[in-house]
A = this chain, B = another copy of it.
């Protein structure tokens, strides 16, 4: 018996249109930080993607509503595919920033968006977080996924849509990694984003009000004592501390590089799911 080269055969996996994707973000910039590279890649692969901002992100230490929405629009442009634009869209649910709660009203507002977009795959921030809005949003999305499949019920139409369409049950609800908790993420799968790291970086840095660059001397005062965004890096005396913002762009790439290292690619982003992945083929594996 010899190790002959493998015979290439035609795949028997039926071709279906790419699933419609909904990416929920508590505030504009969460989607880009957590999975900007994946958004760009999925758009390139033909998925239609809706970025749903639950709040406008204001008030905030630096920036206000009009500015943040403009930043969000710029960020969106950075992620669009090279051809076939626009494949990514953005909508604002406009719940109150810092005050989102897990209620039936929040659930139904989100379920309306799921139905309006006819989402087949939903992404939402992973549930262990220090930010109350993140936890309330994800907890509500978990319920809204189910609410969206209910018949004999009405849901509000989200801003920018004509109606909510028929009931639908998204086959997958994945969590992405955007946490204000210093926890260590143990992902269920990693998405290769090689070649999309700089699109992600550009999209995140479009939120200049949030990530600077800032004038360290004058802007530090805008933040709470102990706020990670404003914290100075520790170091020996001859290495003066700086606002975290100073090396934030570099940290974004380091993050992608760290995760990529775990699957042997240049960059990656981690995802989580309590439901085991179902595969029909091993062809999509990277490692």
A282 & B42 in contact (Cβ 8 Å cutoff): yes
User: Quick one: closest B residue to A230, CB to CB?
Assistant: B169
Chain A at the B interface: SS class: loop
A278 & B107 in contact (Cβ 8 Å cutoff): no
Which of B61, B239, B268, B284 makes the CB contact (< 8 A) with A284? Answer: B284
Chain A 272-287 residues near chain B, CB threshold 8 A? 274-287
Binding site for B on A (CB under 8 A): 1-13, 15, 17-20, 42, 44-48, 59-61, 84, 87, 89, 91, 98-99, 101, 103-104, 107, 116-118, 120-121, 128, 130-132, 135, 142-143, 145-153, 160-162, 165-173, 180-192, 194-195, 222-228, 231, 233-236, 239, 244, 247, 250-251, 253-255, 257-258, 261-266, 268, 270, 274-287
B279 & A151 in contact (Cβ 8 Å cutoff): no
B231 & A264 in contact (Cβ 8 Å cutoff): yes
Chain B residues with CB under 8 Å of A15's CB are 8
A99 & B89 in contact (Cβ 8 Å cutoff): no
Q: CA–CA, A72 to B140, complex, Å?
A: 30
Chain B residues with CB under 8 Å of A128's CB are 274
A200 to chain B, nearest CB (A): 15
Give me 11 A-to-B residue pairs in the complex whose CB atoms sit less than 8 angstroms apart, sorted by A's number: A6-B47, A12-B45, A171-B285, A172-B287, A181-B275, A182-B275, A191-B279, A244-B264, A265-B278, A270-B276, A279-B284
B184 & A187 in contact (Cβ 8 Å cutoff): yes
Chain B residues with CB under 8 Å of A152's CB are 59-61
Which of B185, B226, B276 makes the CB contact (< 8 A) with A120? Answer: B226
Asked whether A9 and B84 contact (CB < 8 A) given A180-B146, A192-B280, the answer is: yes
Contacts beyond the supplied A8-B17, A42-B282: 20 A-B pairs with Cβ under 8 Å: A3-B165, A6-B20, A6-B47, A9-B18, A45-B283, A98-B150, A128-B274, A130-B142, A169-B224, A171-B226, A182-B264, A182-B275, A183-B275, A190-B276, A190-B279, A192-B279, A234-B280, A247-B257, A254-B254, A264-B278
Q: CA–CA, A180 to B284, complex, Å?
A: 22
Asked whether A192 and B89 contact (CB < 8 A) given A162-B2, A261-B251, the answer is: no
A168 to chain B, nearest CB (A): 5
